[in-house]
Amino acid sequence: MGLLDFITGKGKAAPTATGAITPVAAEDLKKEIAKQGVDASKIDIKIDGDRVTLSGSALTSADVDKIVRAVDTAKGVARVENNIVAANANGESKFYTVQRGDTLWKIAESHYGHGKGGRYKEIFAANKELLKDPDKIYPGQRLRIP
């Protein structure tokens, strides 16, 4: 749980002529969550300007991660407060911030052990909403390590 601050307008949002970010609707956020293949029926979304508070429950920690990422990249969202509880907290994910010179193979070896670089595919799959190609990662990206 916690508050994640993001740069206003860094997602898909485009400022209006006055420079304000277009307000977001809860139903639009639920559609973004559904695009990630996650059930949002037990998620309560409260919107206060560009701040979104999420509460309720999700099946797994991975689902919670997907929900938060889907919302944080939505139009008009600058901050996300995550109060979602994972019903099955087994297999908690870790997060890793990509450093200069990193590859998914290298990250997999550092997290799973020597000779386990082939597990980079698991990291790629867990971050599909962020990564389009396993060979294209950039410093500063925050990856979920399942």
How does pLDDT run across 10-21, given as a tens digit for each residue? Answer: 444 444 445 555
Q: What confidence score (pLDDT) does residue 22 get?
A: 65
Check whether 141 has a pLDDT greater than 70.
Answer: yes
Q: Packing angle between helix 26-35 and helix 61-72, nearest 10 degrees?
A: 130
Residue 75 or residue 101, greater confidence: 101
Determine the average pLDDT of the residues in 66-84.
87
Instruction: Please give the Cα distance from 81 to 72 (Å, whole number).
Output: 10
**pLDDT tens-digit map of 76-133:** 888 889 898 887 765 566 888 999 999 999 999 999 999 999 999 999 988 888 899 9
Domains and CATH numbers, the chain: 2-88 (3.30.1340.30), 94-145 (3.10.350.10)
Q: Per DSSP, which regions of 27-121 are E strands? A: 43-48, 51-60, 79-88, 94-97
